[in-house]
A and B are shown apart, each in its own frame.
Chain A
Amino acid sequence: MSLTRPFLLAFLGAAVAQAGAPPKSILQRGAYLVRVGGCNDCHTPLKMGAKGPEPDMTRMLSGHPEALKMPPAPQLPEGPWGWTGAATATAFAGPWGVSFAANLTPDKETGLGSWTEAQFLQMIRTGRHLGQGRPILPPMPVPSLHAATEADQKAIFAYLKSIPAVSNRVPAVVEPVASH
């Protein structure tokens, strides 16, 4: 007993570590990559602060706010201006229609909560919605994520799974008007 107990505990400890949260170093790496990768620039809505627009960290990485219903995008005249964005920097209108930055928090229903790591990697590899659907729309920088090593992609996913969950159902894409 006295001999097996520490063994058992060590074994259990390892098992728990495996089933539970990833090591801190991986989460830190993921947090670092999310910062330098600029994910907040589009996935955390801007709000008006004392010194101008600033990211609303109560909604960190939760995507385009559900309550903010966007009116039809302005029609741009012919010319070099190609696309427009919402003041929150979470909705984007262009030739692709209107895309909305996704909820990257671990909320089960509206965020990445029910995604598997494999699905996240497949999304990056294929550039397809949920890894298997329609092509992901601009300006989501899939190629930049694709350039990261698989270990870094996994670290990003692990970090996103560890941040506070925010329930926020991002609107579905709006198809371009010209399509039939």
Chain B
Amino acid sequence: MRALLLVAAAALGLTPGTARTLPQPPHLLTQTGLYSAPGVVDARHLAYAPQYPLWTDGAAKSRWLHLPAGKDIDGGDEDGWVFPVGTRVWKEFRFQGRKVETRMIWKAGPRTWVFASYAWNEAQTEATLVPADGLPDAAEVAPGVWHRIPSRADCRNCHGQESVDMLGFNALQLSPDRDPDAIHGEPLQPGMVTLDDLVARRLLRGARPDLLSRPPRIQADQAATRSVLGYLQANCASCHRGDRPLPGLDLDFRHTSHLIRGADEPGLRTTLGRPSVYQAPGAAGDPRLSPGVPDQSTLIHRMASRRPAAQMPPLGSALVDQEAVARLRRWVADLPLAASH
């Protein structure tokens, strides 16, 4: 038992001297409360689909949120909802129609978050807790290329360390003003919740009175710009955000509710014509995004790469999101050459 605990502490990166007792996630997915009967998702959970999904090697996904009975979400800060203790969210990943992993985030205490992923068995009847280091060869997503279940440290690389964010269950992602051009946008299925439902069912407290008449929306004059910024917000802003800057980078894709003008969107301000520290092999002086010239845009180069030193995002997927790269290339090619913001 002791040895086990020590192993767990080491895996969490906690040295024995500082090991905090984190609640352990259950060993089996069926013990987490997702299902009410074998294969039947508890009908009380809220099914939803964020308008701007994360690319994970082309996985199909389903998502559910559980709020403890009688509890609601504090929506006073539109950019940082506060969830009640006991909240659980699950996300199921399928490749070629087969369930591969189901991820869970559990808010176990006011500042305590538990991350877990469960790997599905061959018979698709049960999923078992994945070790903290993740699982390298979870599913073959292209000949010789394997989807990797991320380590728990990598979950937190995207979702946050001390202060954890729901990246898909937030005001912008659940806005009823859904982007019809969202890259890999998932149509809402019957029964899925949006902001309207949360307000109507009194599950969201403290939101601004005009939330539904003026719903959250990426500010952009062009439909193409809107969907590109939405994509970058979901896929990149978990690491590139102004309120938690990476040292010396000044790169920000985070949409916030107080933005009114398209030109203020940090995803444009910190990229268009802006110098890039990173340079592709053989290149020099390419900006992050070069209006009119996708080939000289380091951002697109990195999105289109899966070489470890170049790829963006640096973790979470093994395959390039070709569709997104094509959409970004077209968008950059169409940008007026002189557009320096």
Contact = CB atoms under 8 A, between A and B. Distances in A.
A66 interface: no
Interface string A92-127: 000001000000000011101111001100101110
B312 to A, nearest CB: 9
B307 A179 contact: yes
Given A149-B18, A151-B17, A175 B309 contact: yes
Interface in B272-319: 277-279, 281, 307-311, 314-315
B15 interface: yes
Interface string A142-154: 0000111111000
A173 B314 CA distance: 15
A180 to B, nearest CB: 7
Given A126-B153, A175-B281, A180-B307, A119 B247 contact: yes
A13 B66 CA distance: 48
A154 to B, nearest CB: 10
Chain B, interface SS category: loop
B130 interface: no
Interface stretch (A30-38, A40-48, A79-87, A129-137): A129-137
Interface stretch (B95-103, B154-162, B221-229): B154-162
A132 B13 contact: no
B246 interface: yes
Nearest to B312: A133
B310 A175 contact: yes
A50 interface: no
Best-buried of B13, B17, B307, B308 by chain A (most CB within 10 Å): B308
B248 interface: yes
A172 interface: yes
Given A118-B161, A119-B247, A134-B314, A149 B153 contact: no
B18 A132 contact: no
A175 B18 CA distance: 37
Given A118-B162, A125-B13, A135 B308 contact: yes
B15 A128 contact: no
B246 A132 contact: yes
A136 B309 CA distance: 9
Interface in B222-245: 239, 245
Contact of B13 (A112, A115, A146): A146
Contact of B278 (A97, A110, A172): A172
A174 B153 CA distance: 26
A173 B15 contact: no
Contacts of B307: 175, 179-180
Given A133-B314, A150-B18, A179-B307, A115 B153 contact: no
A172 B154 contact: no
A126 B153 CA distance: 6
A112 B248 CA distance: 9
Contacts of A179: 307
Interface of A: 97, 108-110, 112-115, 118-119, 122, 124-126, 128-135, 146-151, 172-175, 179-180
Given A122-B161, A134-B308, A172-B278, 10 more contacts: A108-B248, A113-B247, A118-B161, A118-B162, A119-B247, A126-B153, A148-B15, A150-B15, A151-B17, A179-B307
23 contacts: A112-B247, A114-B248, A115-B247, A118-B162, A122-B157, A124-B13, A126-B154, A126-B157, A128-B157, A128-B315, A129-B314, A132-B314, A134-B308, A134-B309, A135-B308, A149-B18, A150-B15, A150-B17, A172-B277, A174-B281, A175-B281, A175-B309, A175-B310
